[in-house]
Amino acid sequence: MNILSIQELEIPEIKIIRFAKFNDERGYLTEIYNENDFEKHCDFLKQYKFKQVNETFSLKNTFRGLHFQFAPPMGKLVRLIYGKLFDFALDLRPNSPTYKHIVAYEVQSTCEFSEWIWLPPGFAHGAWLLENSMLEYFCTETYNPVSERTISIFSEDINWTKCDPQIITEFSKIDKTTLKIKERDLQAMSISDWEKEEASKIFLNLAY
């Protein structure tokens, strides 16, 4: 696996891992994951083992999230297979200096390279798909529906000051009447609602 670069976003625990594709007249070949190369270049992943892999297909103008799991806390390694993806990460770790902050990134997938975005446990994840798109998730835990929660992307207590201004501008143009989003996501809780749950303390001592 040829890892080209590792980039930190404005919340430094969110990482972008860019890796190369090898092209010829037939198309391309790439390793999307190689344990040895990840251990060599991605120290931040050494404490984790991936236990579940998910694939999702979404129609154009879909928003999924902001979803998270607290028992056990789940980290996600997400990549775009094809389409157009703005990926969102909301910090829900109460001791973190970026608590309540959200960041977003346009994850790339081209003929020359692709990218993973890493969201450690303690973050809520959202995906805004601007074209018909397919995503793949490597998860550090198996899914537990009892401990899944959702923060509304439209919650007023999210802090957007660390988010890419261009993505904020694009997102502000969303028409909620045509956006493909589940009602449970649209009407989901705020961060302050989540803080009222005893389970919110589970994220208190996660590393940052």
Catalytic residues: 67, 137
At 162, list the tokens. 């660390």
Q: SS3 of 8, please?
A: strand
> H helices within 3-162, ranges in order?
35-41
- Give the separation between CA 97 and CA 192, rounded to whole angstroms: 17
Please answer whether residues 89 and 119 qualify as being in contact, where contact means their C-beta atoms are separated by less than 8 angstroms. Answer: yes
10 Å Cβ neighbour count for 81?
Answer: 15
